[in-house]
Structure 1
């Protein structure tokens, strides 16, 4: 199975080692991709542990669980970075995410800020821009990329590849 993050690698060779604790992200992009896959898989403990301590306290696990249980993530796309300053201990990733909620395709873009603490990359904050939702008709092609009509595509595969 291709990884949910869109890297082209298999999940077992891409984000799974981060989720299972076998590897630490070496870059903020790797961490962002692994967090996206964690959202797809509803890996809430990983999402909590991969952000700074302030956010671990701030974010309600119940709210996060409610959100990920209602949506189906469809696609992740990296975007060009605006002019930002990097250092060895902080970095940024600019991306866009599409997800289905009911029969609507939602999208947001985010400029995420990451910090390196105790030799680990952690999500720190993000500037999120919501985009207008689009209704997906029953006979429209499914946005997940399966090639099926929306009405016939259940369950969706977040990586955009048809289930084996």
Structure 2
């Protein structure tokens, strides 16, 4: 018997059920109250192939620089192995610009990869958006 994905543990590593964690943001972007919450929900979106959410949470000025079809293929072709937060940024829900540094592990073509990124986020009209990031 397969479990409903809403009852599975959230891919972001919070130990909460998906429906109580990133699933809330996937249903309503305004549920991500900090850049960290948005970043974790974006990671979970990659794991679950929710590329529409990735597009929706990418800053509108930056969307045309992304190939969302390619991101969808990458998402589906990868076996996601975990997320580690290296710098959580601010916990103050009043800030409008923030950074989060993370390491995401995934297997692609039978090879383990680590994606380390310092991501920049901006809050506009009450919603957090991913601006860009530096990959190391």
Judge same fold: TM > 0.5, yes or no.
yes
Query: Is contact 1:17-1:23 (8 Å) kept?
Result: no
2:25 and 2:59 map into 1 onto residues whose CA distance is 16
Moved more, 47-56 or 15-24: 15-24
1:22 and 1:99 map into 2 onto residues whose CA distance is 25
TM-score (normalizing by structure 1) = 0.71
Runs of 4+ displaced beyond 4 Å: none
The 1:12–1:52 alpha-carbon spacing in structure 2 relative to 1, beyond 3 Å, is same
- CA drift of 1:17 comes to 1.2
Matched, 1:34 2:21: no
Aligned ranges 1:80-95 → 2 under 5 Å: 80=87, 88-95=95-102
2:74 and 2:55 map into 1 onto residues whose CA distance is 14
Query: Is contact 2:30-2:126 (8 Å) kept?
Result: no
- CA drift of 1:57 comes to 1.6
- CA drift of 1:63 comes to 1.3
Structure 2: tracts of 5 or more residues without a match:
1-7
- Aligned twin of 1:70: 77
- CA drift of 1:22 comes to 7.1
The 1:109–1:101 alpha-carbon spacing in structure 2 relative to 1, beyond 3 Å, is same
- CA drift of 1:102 comes to 2.1
3-state DSSP of counterpart to 1:125: strand
- Aligned twin of 1:147: none
RMSD over aligned Cα, in angstroms? 1.7
Task: Give 2:105's match in structure 1, choosing from 89, 98, 103.
Answer: 98
- Aligned twin of 1:43: 50
Give the count of matched residue pairs. 125
2:115 and 2:75 map into 1 onto residues whose CA distance is 15
TM-score (normalizing by structure 2) = 0.85
